[in-house]
Structures are given as structure tokens and as C-alpha cells.
Amino acid sequence: MVNFGIVGFGLHAVKRLMPGFAGARNCRVVALSRRSLHQARESAHQYGIPLAFDSTESLCRSSEVDAVLVTTPNACHLRDVLLALECGKPVLCEKPMGMSGDECRQMVEAARKAGVLLGVAQVFRFEESVLRMRNRVAAGEIGKPIFVRSEFSLIVNASHPRKWISDLAVAGGGPIVDVGVHCVDALRFILQDEIVWVNAQSVSDQLSREVESAATLLLEFSRGTLGTVAVSFRSPYRTPLELVGDEGSVRADDAFSVDKPIVVERRGEAVKETETVSNYSAYTRQVEAFADAVEGKAAFPAPGEEGWKNQEVLDAAYRSINSGKREAVHPIIEN
């Protein structure tokens, strides 16, 4: 049994992580941290968690904690991950892993030097809908992928619980980093291919302040597939995902939803197949997979290097927005 400590216990932990841990067979939450010790103790009491701390360091130095799950605001990830690694604790960091490719490089290199596991919480790699689409593409059911698209929209307004989400210094960006990273990761994961060029455009408004409110990214993959990603903080929740090849296509209207059944549809010239799958256990599968990796039973499907690769794509998107040109994605340093 792997004992997790959650750093930055907030809305995401309450809404997604604790229900995920509730169904886990090989791990549990034994500690949490919040900025206020009083709030930390209240949350710990509410969720039956034995240990409460008011700092990342205190949690990471606890002998009761085997692994650390970092869920603090984006600007805190580098500090919190490096501290956990310094304490010898395996770390699962929420996406986006850092504020820049350089931050992600620092995390990955620190983990390599310490010989400690680092993973990024790209939870959609654990969804049935995404896995079914990946398997169909790998099996050649759509032929050679020609173009792919992923969209992710949600409403972010002044009453949004993540008050920092439009603060550039804390968030690092708008929907590109918040949900675009999911689109980028899912397309890379399904195609098993890397993005080498990005051309991006964005718009902002009074509410989004320093960050974008919506954006589109045109992606070029190394094997010639073209991709589009569209993200928005001003549209109702929707996550369509589609991959089109020279022999057919596979798609789902709500590919990233974990709250309802998903219909995955494959089309060919004279073939139409549908299957209904559930992503309900994605968060459980994610923490179980990390716990298995901590115990040396299996490799984790989203190691820190994947978070670094995603961040380099996001960095290229922002360079493109600023330059008005197509920008190359910087390759990472492989181990």
C-alpha cells in the first residue's frame, strides 16, 4: 500500500482526486497540506486523512508519506516538485507540469539525478475513450492519419473557484496551458508521434486580463499528420476529439468527460461502428498506476519527460502568438 500526501489540497483534490483514491486498491491518502494549518486540519477531518500540514516541506519530510501528489497552482510546481525530490519522495505533478520548458527540464533532471520517480498527471491517458482511439489508430483501422482535431472549452468567469486562473504570473497562461495541454497530450499519445511545429493565434478580453480567453493551434507532427487544437474559457464544456485517416476515422463528442458514458465512433467507406465506454475510473487508474510504478511493478505511462514535451509545445504556441510565425518545438534531452 502506497501512502500519498497531497500538496495544495483544494477543489481538484475534493472533486476528482479523493473519489479516485476511494476506489484504489493499492494506495491511499494519509496526508495533505494547505496554506492555513486550520484549513488543513478541517479538510483532513472532513475526509478522514490522518495528517495535516501547512507547508510542502513538512508534508514531504513526513516518514508516513511514501509519494507526493502536487496540486498547487502552476507557478508553485517547480518549487514543490524539487522539494519532494530532495526529500526522496516520488512525485506525481498536476498538469501543466511547469511554467516553461526550462522549469520542466529542471524537474526531470533533478528526478534523474536523485533516482526518484517523477510523473505528470495527464489523466486522460487513463480514459477508456482515449485508449480505445489509440488502439484503433495503432491497429491501422483508419489507415495513415491525415488530420486530427481536439477541442476543449469551459466557462471561466469572475466566480470561478480558482481565483488565480487569469493571473499570468501564477497560471502561466489561459486555456492553452489549462486545457490545451490535455489536447496536445492526447493527440501525441494516440498518434504515438511528436509535434515539431506550431502556428497559434489567440484572443483575450477584459475578464481574461493578461492571458488569452480563447486560442487555436495548428500542429505539425513528425510523420506528416496535421492537427488543430481549439480552446476557450468562454464556451460551455465540450471536448470533441477526432482522428481522420486515408481509410476512415474515429471520433467521440465528449472524449475527455469522466462523468457520463462516451460513444466512440469509427467510420470507414462502408463501415460504421460505435461502442459506449466509461471514463469514470480514470483518476483511480492514474493513482493506481503511479503506485504500481513506485513499487517497481510497472512503468508509469506519463513520466516527467512527457510533461516536459507537452510544455515545449505550449511554449512554441506562445512564441508563435507573439511572433505571428510558425515556430519549431524544441526537442527535450532524452535520458
Confidence (pLDDT) at 209: 82
- The C-alpha atoms of residue 92 and residue 94 are separated, in whole angstroms, by 7
Confidence (pLDDT) at 100: 98
Whether the CB-CB separation of 100 and 312 falls below 8 Å is answered with no
Q: Which pLDDT tens digit goes with each residue over 300-326?
A: 999 999 999 999 999 999 999 999 999
Confidence (pLDDT) at 137: 98
What mean pLDDT is predicted for residues 249-272?
A: 94
What mean pLDDT is predicted for residues 14-24?
A: 97
Cell 505550449, located at residue:
314
Confidence (pLDDT) at 160: 75
Q: Are residues 182 and 146 in the same domain?
A: yes
- The C-alpha atoms of residue 103 and residue 113 are separated, in whole angstroms, by 15
Q: Are residues 135 and 111 in the same domain?
A: no
Confidence (pLDDT) at 271: 78
335 in a structural domain: no
Q: Are residues 186 and 255 in the same domain?
A: yes
- The C-alpha atoms of residue 163 and residue 115 are separated, in whole angstroms, by 36
Grid cell of 169 as nine digits? 504570473
Peptide bond into 96 cis (omega under 30): yes
Whether the CB-CB separation of 86 and 22 falls below 8 Å is answered with no
333 in a structural domain: no
Q: Are residues 187 and 290 in the same domain?
A: no
- The C-alpha atoms of residue 327 and residue 313 are separated, in whole angstroms, by 9
- The C-alpha atoms of residue 167 and residue 20 are separated, in whole angstroms, by 29
150 in a structural domain: yes
Q: Which pLDDT tens digit goes with each residue over 181-224?
A: 999 999 999 999 999 999 999 999 988 889 999 999 999 999 99
For position 173, which CATH number holds?
A: 3.30.360.10
CB atoms within 10 A of CB 135: 12
334 in a structural domain: no
Grid cell of 61 as nine digits? 519530510
Is the pLDDT at 18 greater than 80? The verdict is yes
Quote the number of domains for the chain. 2
- The C-alpha atoms of residue 254 and residue 277 are separated, in whole angstroms, by 11
Q: Are residues 73 and 138 in the same domain?
A: no
For position 18, which CATH number holds?
A: 3.40.50.720
7 in a structural domain: yes
Q: Are residues 117 and 178 in the same domain?
A: no
Q: Which pLDDT tens digit goes with each residue over 32-91?
A: 999 999 999 999 999 999 999 999 999 999 999 999 999 999 999 999 999 999 999 999
153 in a structural domain: yes
Q: Are residues 219 and 153 in the same domain?
A: yes
Q: Which pLDDT tens digit goes with each residue over 159-170?
A: 777 878 888 999
Is the pLDDT at 334 greater than 90? The verdict is no
Q: Are residues 119 and 190 in the same domain?
A: no
Q: Are residues 175 and 315 in the same domain?
A: yes
135 in a structural domain: yes
Grid cell of 246 as nine digits? 486515408
Confidence (pLDDT) at 63: 97
Write the Ramachandran bin of 43: left for phi over 0, alpha for psi from -120 to 50, otherwise beta: alpha
Q: Are residues 199 and 169 in the same domain?
A: yes
Q: Are residues 211 and 250 in the same domain?
A: yes
Confidence (pLDDT) at 270: 79
- Residue 24 amino acid letter: A
Grid cell of 313 as nine digits? 509545445
- The C-alpha atoms of residue 35 and residue 137 are separated, in whole angstroms, by 45
Domain encompassing residue 163 = 124-279+311-328
Q: Which pLDDT tens digit goes with each residue over 86-142?
A: 999 999 999 999 999 999 999 999 999 999 999 999 999 999 999 999 999 999 999
- What are 277's strand-pairing partners? 262
Q: Are residues 142 and 235 in the same domain?
A: yes
| Of residues 227, 209, 199, 220, the one with CA closest to residue 318 | 199
Q: In the chain, where do the E strands start and end?
A: 2-7, 27-33, 51-53, 67-70, 91-94, 118-121, 145-155, 195-203, 214-221, 226-232, 234-238, 241-245, 248-252, 262-267, 272-277, 327-328
Contacts of 310 (CB under 8 A, 6+ apart): 95, 96, 97, 120, 122, 181, 184, 185, 188
- Which whole-number Å values give the CA distances from 312 to 5, 100, 133, 185, 225, in the listed order? 28, 7, 24, 11, 18
- The C-alpha atoms of residue 22 and residue 24 are separated, in whole angstroms, by 6
